[in-house]
Structure 1
Protein backbone atom coordinates (compact mmCIF):
# COMPACT_ATOMS: atom_id res chain seq x y z
CA UNK A 1 0.00 0.00 0.00
CA UNK A 2 1.58 3.26 -1.17
CA UNK A 3 0.21 5.33 1.72
CA UNK A 4 1.39 2.89 4.42
CA UNK A 5 4.17 5.23 5.67
CA UNK A 6 1.61 7.87 6.69
CA UNK A 7 -0.66 5.23 8.21
CA UNK A 8 2.36 3.96 10.18
CA UNK A 9 3.19 7.48 11.35
CA UNK A 10 -0.39 7.91 12.58
CA UNK A 11 -0.17 4.55 14.39
CA UNK A 12 3.07 5.74 16.03
CA UNK A 13 1.39 8.99 17.18
CA UNK A 14 -1.80 7.30 18.40
CA UNK A 15 -0.64 6.21 21.90
CA UNK A 16 0.29 9.84 22.59
CA UNK A 17 -3.11 10.97 21.32
CA UNK A 18 -4.73 8.42 23.66
CA UNK A 19 -2.71 9.94 26.51
CA UNK A 20 -4.62 13.21 26.02
CA UNK A 21 -7.85 11.39 26.87
CA UNK A 22 -6.27 9.37 29.68
CA UNK A 23 -4.93 12.49 31.41
CA UNK A 24 -8.34 14.18 31.06
CA UNK A 25 -10.06 11.06 32.43
CA UNK A 26 -7.77 10.78 35.47
CA UNK A 27 -7.26 14.46 36.23
CA UNK A 28 -9.15 14.26 39.54
CA UNK A 29 -7.06 11.37 40.83
CA UNK A 30 -3.57 12.65 40.03
CA UNK A 31 -1.20 14.40 42.39
CA UNK A 32 -0.20 17.88 41.31
CA UNK A 33 3.30 16.55 40.64
CA UNK A 34 2.03 13.67 38.46
CA UNK A 35 -0.30 16.02 36.60
CA UNK A 36 2.52 18.48 35.97
CA UNK A 37 4.72 15.70 34.58
CA UNK A 38 1.91 14.33 32.38
CA UNK A 39 1.10 17.79 31.01
CA UNK A 40 4.79 18.49 30.33
CA UNK A 41 5.04 15.17 28.42
CA UNK A 42 1.94 16.04 26.38
CA UNK A 43 3.23 19.52 25.65
CA UNK A 44 6.55 18.06 24.45
CA UNK A 45 4.73 15.54 22.24
CA UNK A 46 2.60 18.28 20.71
CA UNK A 47 5.48 20.68 20.03
CA UNK A 48 8.06 18.11 18.92
CA UNK A 49 5.90 15.57 17.07
CA UNK A 50 2.30 16.46 16.31
CA UNK A 51 2.76 20.10 15.24
CA UNK A 52 5.74 19.25 12.95
CA UNK A 53 3.62 16.40 11.50
CA UNK A 54 0.80 18.88 10.76
CA UNK A 55 3.21 21.45 9.29
CA UNK A 56 4.75 18.83 7.00
CA UNK A 57 1.29 17.77 5.81
CA UNK A 58 0.31 21.37 5.05
CA UNK A 59 3.56 21.99 3.18
CA UNK A 60 3.94 18.73 1.28
CA UNK A 61 0.94 16.39 1.40
CA UNK A 62 -2.05 18.69 0.99
CA UNK A 63 -0.81 20.40 -2.20
CA UNK A 64 -0.51 16.95 -3.81
CA UNK A 65 -3.99 15.95 -2.63
CA UNK A 66 -5.32 19.25 -4.00
CA UNK A 67 -3.69 18.59 -7.37
CA UNK A 68 -5.03 15.01 -7.48
CA UNK A 69 -8.54 16.24 -6.60
CA UNK A 70 -8.34 19.10 -9.08
CA UNK A 71 -8.73 21.94 -6.57
CA UNK A 72 -6.31 23.49 -4.12
CA UNK A 73 -9.19 24.08 -1.70
CA UNK A 74 -9.79 20.32 -1.31
CA UNK A 75 -7.83 20.23 1.95
CA UNK A 76 -8.70 23.68 3.34
CA UNK A 77 -10.75 22.17 6.18
CA UNK A 78 -7.84 19.88 7.08
CA UNK A 79 -5.46 22.84 7.29
CA UNK A 80 -8.02 24.59 9.48
CA UNK A 81 -7.92 21.56 11.81
CA UNK A 82 -4.16 22.09 12.07
CA UNK A 83 -4.67 25.73 13.06
CA UNK A 84 -7.08 24.67 15.81
CA UNK A 85 -4.71 21.93 17.02
CA UNK A 86 -1.99 24.58 17.32
CA UNK A 87 -4.32 26.92 19.20
CA UNK A 88 -5.36 24.20 21.65
CA UNK A 89 -1.72 23.12 22.11
CA UNK A 90 -0.85 26.72 23.00
CA UNK A 91 -3.79 26.88 25.42
CA UNK A 92 -2.64 23.64 27.05
CA UNK A 93 0.85 25.10 27.50
CA UNK A 94 -0.59 28.24 29.09
CA UNK A 95 -2.74 26.15 31.43
CA UNK A 96 0.19 23.91 32.40
CA UNK A 97 2.25 26.95 33.37
CA UNK A 98 -0.66 28.38 35.39
CA UNK A 99 -1.12 25.07 37.24
CA UNK A 100 2.61 24.97 37.94
CA UNK A 101 2.57 28.55 39.30
CA UNK A 102 -0.78 28.72 41.07
CA UNK A 103 -2.13 25.18 41.47
CA UNK A 104 -5.24 23.48 40.15
CA UNK A 105 -8.39 25.53 40.73
CA UNK A 106 -11.80 24.17 39.74
CA UNK A 107 -11.81 26.57 36.80
CA UNK A 108 -8.37 25.43 35.63
CA UNK A 109 -9.36 21.77 36.06
CA UNK A 110 -12.42 22.30 33.82
CA UNK A 111 -10.35 24.19 31.24
CA UNK A 112 -7.70 21.46 31.17
CA UNK A 113 -10.32 18.78 30.71
CA UNK A 114 -11.96 20.77 27.87
CA UNK A 115 -8.63 21.34 26.07
CA UNK A 116 -7.43 17.74 26.49
CA UNK A 117 -10.71 16.22 25.27
CA UNK A 118 -10.87 18.80 22.47
CA UNK A 119 -7.39 17.94 21.22
CA UNK A 120 -8.07 14.23 21.53
CA UNK A 121 -11.30 14.37 19.52
CA UNK A 122 -10.01 16.79 16.90
CA UNK A 123 -6.88 14.76 16.17
CA UNK A 124 -8.71 11.40 16.12
CA UNK A 125 -11.28 12.72 13.62
CA UNK A 126 -8.57 14.45 11.60
CA UNK A 127 -6.56 11.22 11.27
CA UNK A 128 -9.73 9.31 10.32
CA UNK A 129 -10.53 11.83 7.56
CA UNK A 130 -7.02 11.50 6.14
CA UNK A 131 -6.98 7.72 6.28
CA UNK A 132 -10.54 7.10 5.07
CA UNK A 133 -10.89 9.86 2.46
CA UNK A 134 -7.59 11.33 1.27
CA UNK A 135 -5.24 8.35 1.40
CA UNK A 136 -7.52 6.08 -0.68
CA UNK A 137 -7.67 8.87 -3.29
CA UNK A 138 -3.88 9.01 -3.39
CA UNK A 139 -3.70 5.21 -3.64
CA UNK A 140 -6.02 5.34 -6.63
CA UNK A 141 -4.71 8.39 -8.47
CA UNK A 142 -1.05 9.02 -7.61
CA UNK A 143 1.65 7.20 -9.63
CA UNK A 144 3.67 4.85 -7.40
CA UNK A 145 7.06 6.58 -7.85
CA UNK A 146 5.57 9.96 -6.95
CA UNK A 147 3.78 8.49 -3.91
CA UNK A 148 6.96 6.80 -2.68
CA UNK A 149 8.94 10.04 -3.06
CA UNK A 150 6.19 12.09 -1.36
CA UNK A 151 5.94 9.83 1.69
CA UNK A 152 9.73 9.54 2.02
CA UNK A 153 10.04 13.35 1.94
CA UNK A 154 7.15 13.71 4.38
CA UNK A 155 8.73 11.26 6.86
CA UNK A 156 12.06 13.05 6.57
CA UNK A 157 10.48 16.48 7.14
CA UNK A 158 8.57 15.31 10.22
CA UNK A 159 11.57 13.70 11.88
CA UNK A 160 14.03 16.46 11.02
CA UNK A 161 12.30 18.83 13.45
Structure 2
Protein backbone atom coordinates (compact mmCIF):
# COMPACT_ATOMS: atom_id res chain seq x y z
CA UNK A 1 0.00 0.00 0.00
CA UNK A 2 2.70 2.42 0.97
CA UNK A 3 4.69 1.68 -2.20
CA UNK A 4 1.65 2.29 -4.38
CA UNK A 5 0.83 5.50 -2.50
CA UNK A 6 4.42 6.68 -2.81
CA UNK A 7 4.49 5.97 -6.55
CA UNK A 8 1.17 7.51 -7.57
CA UNK A 9 2.70 10.84 -8.58
CA UNK A 10 5.23 9.18 -10.90
CA UNK A 11 2.76 6.90 -12.71
CA UNK A 12 0.72 7.80 -15.77
CA UNK A 13 -2.95 8.21 -14.75
CA UNK A 14 -4.14 4.98 -16.40
CA UNK A 15 -1.30 2.94 -14.87
CA UNK A 16 -1.99 4.44 -11.45
CA UNK A 17 -5.61 3.35 -11.80
CA UNK A 18 -4.48 -0.23 -12.53
CA UNK A 19 -2.21 -0.23 -9.46
CA UNK A 20 -4.99 1.14 -7.27
CA UNK A 21 -7.45 -1.45 -8.57
CA UNK A 22 -4.98 -4.21 -7.66
CA UNK A 23 -4.51 -2.89 -4.12
CA UNK A 24 -8.26 -2.50 -3.72
CA UNK A 25 -8.81 -6.08 -4.90
CA UNK A 26 -6.28 -7.42 -2.38
CA UNK A 27 -7.88 -5.43 0.43
CA UNK A 28 -11.39 -6.56 -0.53
CA UNK A 29 -10.60 -10.20 -1.28
CA UNK A 30 -7.90 -11.01 1.26
CA UNK A 31 -7.54 -8.45 4.04
CA UNK A 32 -11.18 -7.76 4.87
CA UNK A 33 -12.21 -11.45 4.90
CA UNK A 34 -9.25 -12.16 7.20
CA UNK A 35 -10.39 -9.41 9.57
CA UNK A 36 -13.96 -10.78 9.54
CA UNK A 37 -12.60 -14.26 10.31
CA UNK A 38 -10.64 -12.86 13.27
CA UNK A 39 -13.81 -11.17 14.55
CA UNK A 40 -15.85 -14.35 14.21
CA UNK A 41 -13.41 -17.00 15.40
CA UNK A 42 -10.19 -15.71 16.95
CA UNK A 43 -11.32 -12.74 19.02
CA UNK A 44 -14.10 -14.58 20.91
CA UNK A 45 -11.53 -17.16 22.06
CA UNK A 46 -9.09 -14.44 23.07
CA UNK A 47 -11.82 -12.60 24.98
CA UNK A 48 -12.74 -15.79 26.85
CA UNK A 49 -9.07 -16.36 27.73
CA UNK A 50 -8.59 -12.81 28.98
CA UNK A 51 -11.92 -12.39 30.74
CA UNK A 52 -13.29 -9.04 31.76
CA UNK A 53 -15.52 -6.60 29.96
CA UNK A 54 -14.37 -6.19 26.33
CA UNK A 55 -10.68 -6.87 26.98
CA UNK A 56 -9.70 -6.24 23.37
CA UNK A 57 -11.76 -3.15 22.63
CA UNK A 58 -8.80 -1.51 20.88
CA UNK A 59 -8.50 -4.49 18.54
CA UNK A 60 -12.17 -4.26 17.64
CA UNK A 61 -11.76 -0.54 16.97
CA UNK A 62 -8.85 -1.05 14.59
CA UNK A 63 -10.86 -3.69 12.73
CA UNK A 64 -13.68 -1.20 12.29
CA UNK A 65 -11.23 1.38 10.95
CA UNK A 66 -9.69 -1.14 8.54
CA UNK A 67 -13.18 -1.94 7.25
CA UNK A 68 -14.05 1.74 6.95
CA UNK A 69 -10.91 2.58 5.00
CA UNK A 70 -11.24 -0.58 2.89
CA UNK A 71 -14.80 0.38 1.97
CA UNK A 72 -13.70 3.91 1.16
CA UNK A 73 -10.91 2.56 -1.06
CA UNK A 74 -13.44 0.39 -2.92
CA UNK A 75 -15.83 3.29 -3.47
CA UNK A 76 -13.03 5.56 -4.66
CA UNK A 77 -11.73 2.89 -7.05
CA UNK A 78 -15.20 2.29 -8.48
CA UNK A 79 -15.61 6.04 -9.01
CA UNK A 80 -12.35 6.49 -10.92
CA UNK A 81 -12.98 7.99 -14.34
CA UNK A 82 -11.90 5.99 -17.42
CA UNK A 83 -9.05 8.42 -18.13
CA UNK A 84 -7.52 7.53 -14.76
CA UNK A 85 -6.29 9.49 -11.83
CA UNK A 86 -6.13 13.28 -11.60
CA UNK A 87 -3.99 15.19 -9.06
CA UNK A 88 -6.78 15.73 -6.53
CA UNK A 89 -7.84 12.07 -6.68
CA UNK A 90 -4.21 11.00 -6.32
CA UNK A 91 -3.99 13.00 -3.09
CA UNK A 92 -7.19 11.40 -1.80
CA UNK A 93 -5.94 7.92 -2.64
CA UNK A 94 -2.59 8.61 -0.96
CA UNK A 95 -4.42 9.75 2.18
CA UNK A 96 -6.50 6.56 2.29
CA UNK A 97 -3.59 4.26 1.47
CA UNK A 98 -1.29 5.86 4.04
CA UNK A 99 -4.07 5.73 6.61
CA UNK A 100 -4.75 2.08 5.89
CA UNK A 101 -1.04 1.30 6.01
CA UNK A 102 -0.65 3.06 9.38
CA UNK A 103 -3.67 1.43 11.01
CA UNK A 104 -2.59 -2.00 9.76
CA UNK A 105 0.92 -1.55 11.14
CA UNK A 106 -0.55 -0.56 14.50
CA UNK A 107 -3.06 -3.40 14.40
CA UNK A 108 -0.46 -6.05 13.56
CA UNK A 109 1.75 -4.77 16.38
CA UNK A 110 -1.23 -4.96 18.77
CA UNK A 111 -1.96 -8.52 17.67
CA UNK A 112 1.68 -9.56 18.06
CA UNK A 113 1.78 -8.13 21.57
CA UNK A 114 -1.55 -9.66 22.53
CA UNK A 115 -0.79 -13.13 21.17
CA UNK A 116 2.74 -13.11 22.60
CA UNK A 117 1.29 -12.19 26.01
CA UNK A 118 -1.28 -14.98 25.78
CA UNK A 119 1.40 -17.49 24.78
CA UNK A 120 3.56 -16.40 27.72
CA UNK A 121 0.63 -16.71 30.12
CA UNK A 122 -0.18 -20.20 28.78
CA UNK A 123 3.47 -21.22 29.17
CA UNK A 124 3.54 -20.01 32.79
CA UNK A 125 0.27 -21.82 33.52
CA UNK A 126 1.60 -25.07 32.04
CA UNK A 127 4.81 -24.77 34.07
CA UNK A 128 2.82 -24.15 37.25
CA UNK A 129 0.60 -27.14 36.53
CA UNK A 130 3.61 -29.35 35.87
CA UNK A 131 5.28 -28.16 39.09
CA UNK A 132 2.08 -28.80 41.03
CA UNK A 133 1.75 -32.29 39.58
CA UNK A 134 5.28 -33.10 40.71
CA UNK A 135 4.76 -31.87 44.29
CA UNK A 136 4.77 -34.56 46.95
CA UNK A 137 6.74 -37.04 44.81
CA UNK A 138 10.20 -38.40 45.49
CA UNK A 139 13.11 -38.16 43.03
CA UNK A 140 11.82 -41.23 41.18
CA UNK A 141 8.40 -39.57 40.72
CA UNK A 142 6.68 -41.85 43.29
CA UNK A 143 4.11 -40.44 45.74
More helix by percentage: 1
| Larger relative contact order (CA 8 Å, sep ≥ 6) | 1
After the TM superposition, which residues 6-155 of structure 1 pair with which residues of structure 2 at under 5 Å, given as runs?
A: 20-101=1-82, 103-132=84-113, 134-142=114-122
Unaligned regions of 5+ residues in structure 1, if any?
Answer: 1-19, 144-161
Displacement of 1:40: 1.4
Structure 2 CA distance for aligned equivalents of residues 102 and 93 of structure 1: 18
Aligned residues: 123
Deviations, residues 79-110 of structure 1 (Å, cap 9, x unaligned): 11111111111111222222234642332121
Q: Is the 8 A contact 1:63 1:72 kept in 2?
A: no
Q: Please list every run of at least 4 consecutive aligned residues from structure 1 whose deviation after the TM superposition is greater than 6 angstroms.
A: none
Unaligned runs of 5+ in 2: 124-143
**In the superposition, relative to structure 1, how do residues 33 and 102 fare at CA in structure 2: closer, same or farther (>3 Å)?**
closer
Highest Rg: 1 or 2? 2
RMSD, matched Cα = 1.7
How high is the TM-score relative to the length of structure 2?
0.77
